Amino acid sequence: MSALVAPVSAVAGPHSERVQGGAVVSVEQAADLTAEEVAGELRGKIDSSQVRYGVTAYRVTYRTTDSTGAPTTASQLVVLPKNGERHLSTVSWLHGTTVYRKDVASENPKSDDRLAALLFASTGRAVSAPDYVGLGSGEGFHPYGDPRATVSASVDGLRAARTVAHRNGRELKRKVQVSGFSQGGPATMLVGRALQQEDADRYFRPGALAPVGGPYNLSAFEAAAADDKIAKSGIYLAYFVTAWNRMYGLYSSPGDAFRAPYDRKVEGLFDGRHTAEQIVGELPAASKDLFTEGFLNKIRKPDGVLKDRLRPMDNTCDWRPNAPVEIFHGRGDKDVDFDHATYCADQLTRNGAAHRLTDVGDYDHSGSVQQALPRIIRFFDESAKTG
């Protein structure tokens, strides 16, 4: 696979802004598939009946900013359909919790996020699937759940995708269809709001929002993890705590938060180079066995910097989108309770926003997104006709 690398000065077009956010650093072809091959990749995991076109996928490195606003690079998968259309609708696909930096759409051909991107593109859409900051081939650590870095990587990813499309003689339409799973659920709402209210980009605007299985009340989610009321609670909470400690300083030393002997190893495990299986093999699944009781009480009743930083993540749905919104969730989800979907819907209702809430059925966390994806495509098709 050939790499197409150009200096930033050559690719920073008129839609590049702010520290050259979105400027392309490198492009490498990652896959070239016929429609039949796309359907084969999806078989047994996601309904492939909506596949129409072959696709070409690119691994793209681009410039963005981290949780402090400092310049960095990030990677993503950009997928273009082989349908002959010059003007393409665009999907921004925002992935869920990922601890291993290679387990993302740009790097792992078998990841669910790669399959989602292939599916969307095979329906005739361009797809930007950012790995976020600190995952894939991007620099630094992943600031898990940080709203600033989430928005910058996603919006700059759209800019970079537009440059890749231009190089292929194609243009991305202004209205972006944004969707994401789990961590990507609130990310969907953050990115939609940034594009609408903050004019995060001069060109792109939200066209439709379809979050899936997201924890829209992060304070409640982390408190439930502290009480071991969700699946894999200790692992989720440890990832959150170690990342937010690096950003915001939640404890003075690991022993303040973690029980021995885990206090000596937990931070090193969440370095992006360990797989989920390796981490699960080293740490207890229950928060009560991993954390000190005193620290768990701080998670249950946050104050100070933790409370301040959680507030934006408890209000990702607290605005009025001018684009259609459909929230997807599964009642069988043991990782993120269905209450989070109704919480988001209630916030939208209070703001007078039109929205739908769809229960995809009695499926677990991973199963719910596989069920949601074909419905999201139908929702996007419907939204494009009415928009």
Q: What is the pLDDT of residues 252-283, one digit of tens each?
A: 999 999 999 999 999 999 999 999 999 999 99
What is the CB neighbour count within 10 angstroms for residue 315? 17
- State pLDDT tens for residues 190-201: 999 999 997 799
Q: Where are the alpha helices (DSSP H) in the chain?
A: 8-11, 35-42, 112-122, 147-167, 184-196, 218-226, 233-248, 254-257, 266-269, 276-282, 287-290, 293-300, 304-310, 339-350, 365-386
- State pLDDT tens for residues 15-45: 434 458 999 999 999 999 999 999 999 999 9
At residue 371, what is the residue type?
A: Q
Q: In this structure, what token pair is assigned to residue 292? A: 């000190």
pTM comes to 0.94
**Predicted local distance difference test score (pLDDT) of residue 1:** 35
> Which 8-state DSSP code applies to residue 262?
G
Residue 314, SS3? helix
What is the CB neighbour count within 10 angstroms for residue 311? 12
At residue 345, what is the residue type?
A: A
Q: In this structure, what token pair is assigned to residue 267? A: 């931070």
> Which 8-state DSSP code applies to residue 195?
H
pLDDT > 90 fraction of the chain, expressed in percent and rounded: 93
Residue 387's pLDDT band (cuts 50, 70, 90): low
Residue 226's pLDDT band (cuts 50, 70, 90): very high
Residue 3's pLDDT band (cuts 50, 70, 90): very low
The answer to whether residues 145 and 245 touch, using CB atoms and an 8 Å cutoff, is: no
**Predicted local distance difference test score (pLDDT) of residue 4:** 37
The mean pLDDT of 92-114, rounded to a whole number, is 97
Beta carbons within 8 Å of 261's beta carbon, 6+ residues apart: none
- Which of 36, 44, 35, 46 is CA-nearest to residue 377? 46
**Predicted local distance difference test score (pLDDT) of residue 386:** 76
The mean pLDDT of 223-239, rounded to a whole number, is 96
- State pLDDT tens for residues 162-221: 999 999 999 999 999 999 999 999 999 999 999 999 779 999 999 999 999 999 999 999
The mean of the pLDDT values for the chain is 94
What is the CB neighbour count within 10 angstroms for residue 282? 13
Residue 231's pLDDT band (cuts 50, 70, 90): confident
The mean pLDDT of 146-169, rounded to a whole number, is 97
Is the sign of the CA dihedral 220, 222, 223, 225 positive or negative? positive
How many Å is the Cα radius of gyration of the chain?
20
What is the CB neighbour count within 10 angstroms for residue 366? 16
Q: Distance between CA atoms of 175 and 293, rounded to whole angstroms?
A: 48
Residue 29, SS3? strand
Residue 223, SS3? helix
